[in-house]
């Protein structure tokens, strides 16, 4: 830990999984980081999150892999089922194969579990809740951030991780509306034991260790285990030309969801019908940014590159961003602005390509017959910890 690291003032705006990864990685490298979060209470929505091998490598480098794996789940295999009859279409082994091919497991987490694990790495006194950023500005040698509570802070480096509606992005790159992607989804979970009881009628004998998907004419539904197999997480995506609500996630009557999948596989529907509540989301994304740095400010996570969940990589990219910022600031602690230039150079091409591939894959999924999936090996194999790709031995 260098003295210089301790002296640099770094502010992270937004304590989601991206901002907390950056703060955790920087703290571990000896930087003093202050995190400013709009909400009065820290937390995450109760939904599942797939963490591909590239994300798990970041978790490992933070020294958190063992703790993470205690609450996460590693599915045995990925199966595809016919949307109406529920027959097996294809099956692919995940456990063991992902580690061997890409250097880490393919895992599933409850968002809140990952969030609190990352938070445990940042001193509590450095996390300032109730700080909604309303403005950020670059000056010659520093940046200033203002909050709605009237406070103002000055920092050598500001990391903007304030999500898809980012105030800082708007300030630096202009006001533009996120794009409604043509997809809505419901997110819910049910106790695994309840799922396994219903499963007795299923043509496919579920064990609860599968990452299962049904792709139908108007959408796709995913089931996977989270919380060490205690819960079954459900993502029910649906193609839709409109999203009327001003909010992005709204409580939804489960009846509406059941109607949306009328005629789909019976076992799948009986599992959906167990849910007592569901949230409905309008999926939005944005076009890639030309650069991820402006002066003393770095953009990361959804603030920089919100993407469709088709590849389940938005959160993973936020984790990678956080790790790369920490690595480059550590390597350039005497010239932090240069670190941000290098950060943008390293990250912009990768995150833009993932953003656009997620869009394309969503469009491909609607074609009949659907073309083979676009390769994701280049995404999973990458190791943001040192910026190189995993070489299979
Ligand atoms: C339906 C769905 C499924 C998904 N599934 C996956 C998946 O399986 N795997 C995966 O990797 N990704 C997935 N994603 C993407 C993932 O959720 C996001 O990419 C990830 O949460 C981005 O993290 P973030 O920290 O950048 O932003 P956020 O999680 O949005 O966090 C932003 C934080 O900033 C705070 N904030 C906002 N505005 C301000 C402000 N003005 N001042 C201060 N603080 C502020 C917020 O309160 C929040 O705490 C999915 C997304 C959706 C919509």
How confident is the model at residue 10, as a pLDDT?
98
**From the centroid of its chain, how far is CA 33?**
22
The 143-147 sheet, strands edge to edge:
133-138, 143-147, 152-155
Q: What tens digit of pLDDT does each residue of 275-305 get? A: 887 888 899 999 999 999 999 999 999 999 9
Q: How many residues does this entry show for the chain?
A: 393
The enclosing H or E element of 45 equals none
Can you read off the two tokens belonging to residue 168? 């800082």
Whether CATH 3.30.9.30 fits 179-285: yes
Q: What tens digit of pLDDT does each residue of 87-96 get? A: 999 999 999 9
pLDDT bin (cut points 50, 70, 90) of residue 6 is low
Nearest atom, ligand 1, residue 303 CA = 26
Nearest atom, ligand 1, residue 48 CA = 8
As to burial, measured by CB atoms within 10 angstroms (0-12 exposed, 13-18 middle, 19+ buried), residue 185 is: buried
Q: Find tokens 């709009």 and name the residue.
A: 38
CA atoms of 363 and 352, how far apart (whole Å): 17
Alpha carbon of 16 to ligand 1 centroid (Å): 6
- Is residue 161 within 6 Å of ligand 1 at its C-beta? yes
How confident is the model at residue 125, as a pLDDT?
97
Domain residue spans of the chain: 3-73+108-177+287-387, 179-285
CA atoms of 332 and 139, how far apart (whole Å): 20
Alpha carbon of 17 to ligand 1 centroid (Å): 7
Q: What tens digit of pLDDT does each residue of 372-390 get? A: 999 999 999 999 999 988 8
Active site includes 224?
yes
CATH number for the segment(s) 3-73+108-177+287-387: 3.50.50.60
- Is residue 237 within 6 Å of ligand 1 at its C-beta? no
Q: What tens digit of pLDDT does each residue of 50-63 get? A: 999 999 999 999 99
The 32-36 sheet, strands edge to edge:
127-128, 32-36, 9-13, 157-160, 297-299, 293-294
Region of poorest pLDDT, from 199-213, 309-323, 340-354: 199-213
Point out the catalytic residue in the list 211, 224, 343, 380: 224
**From the centroid of its chain, how far is CA 290?**
21
How confident is the model at residue 368, as a pLDDT?
79
Q: Pick from 108, 249, 308, 318 the residue to mutate for probing ligand 1's pocket: most ligand atoms within 8 Å of its CB.
A: 318
């Amino acid at each position: 830990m260098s003295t210089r690291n301790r002296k640099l003032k770094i502010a992270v705006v937004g304590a989601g999984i991206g901002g907390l990864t950056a703060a955790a990685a920087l703290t571990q490298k000896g930087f003093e980081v202050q995190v400013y979060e709009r909400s009065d209470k820290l937390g995450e929505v109760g939904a599942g999150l797939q963490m591909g091998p590239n994300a798990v490598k970041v978790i490992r480098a933070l020294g958190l892999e063992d703790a993470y794996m205690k609450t996460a789940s590693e599915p045995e295999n990925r199966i595809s089922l016919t949307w109406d009859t529920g027959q097996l279409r294809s099956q692919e082994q995940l456990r063991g194969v992902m580690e061997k091919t890409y250097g880490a497991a393919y895992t599933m987490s409850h968002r809140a579990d990952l969030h609190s694990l990352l938070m445990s790495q940042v001193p509590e006194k450095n996390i300032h809740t109730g700080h909604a950023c309303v403005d950020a500005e670059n000056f010659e040698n520093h940046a200033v951030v203002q909050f709605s509570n009237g406070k103002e802070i000055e920092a050598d480096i500001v990391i903007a991780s304030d999500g898809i509606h980012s105030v800082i992005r708007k300030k630096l790159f202009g006001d533009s509306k996120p794009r409604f992607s043509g997809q809505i989804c419901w997110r819910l979970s049910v106790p695994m034991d309840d799922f396994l009881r219903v499963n007795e009628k299923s043509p496919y004998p579920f064990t609860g260790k599968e990452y299962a998907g049904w792709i139908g004419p108007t959408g796709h539904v995913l089931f996977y285990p989270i919380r060490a197999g205690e819960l079954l997480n459900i993502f029910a995506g649906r193609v839709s030309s409109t999203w009327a609500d001003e909010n992005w996630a709204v409580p939804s009557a489960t009846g509406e969801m059941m109607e949306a999948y009328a005629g789909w596989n019976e076992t799948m529907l009986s599992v959906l019908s167990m849910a007592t509540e569901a949230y409905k989301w309008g999926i939005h994304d944005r076009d890639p940014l030309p650069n991820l740095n402006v002066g003393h400010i770095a953009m990361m996570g959804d603030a920089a590159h919100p993407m469709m969940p088709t590849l389940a990589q938005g959160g993973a990219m936020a984790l990678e961003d956080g790790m790369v910022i920490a690595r480059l600031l550590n390597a350039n602690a005497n010239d932090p602005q240069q670190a941000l230039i290098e950060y943008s150079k390293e990250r912009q091409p990768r995150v833009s390509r993932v953003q656009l591939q997620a869009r394309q894959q969503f469009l491909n999924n609607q074609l009949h017959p659907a073309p083979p999936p676009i390769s994701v090996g280049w995404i999973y194999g990458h190791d943001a910890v040192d910026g190189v790709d995993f070489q299979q031995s």
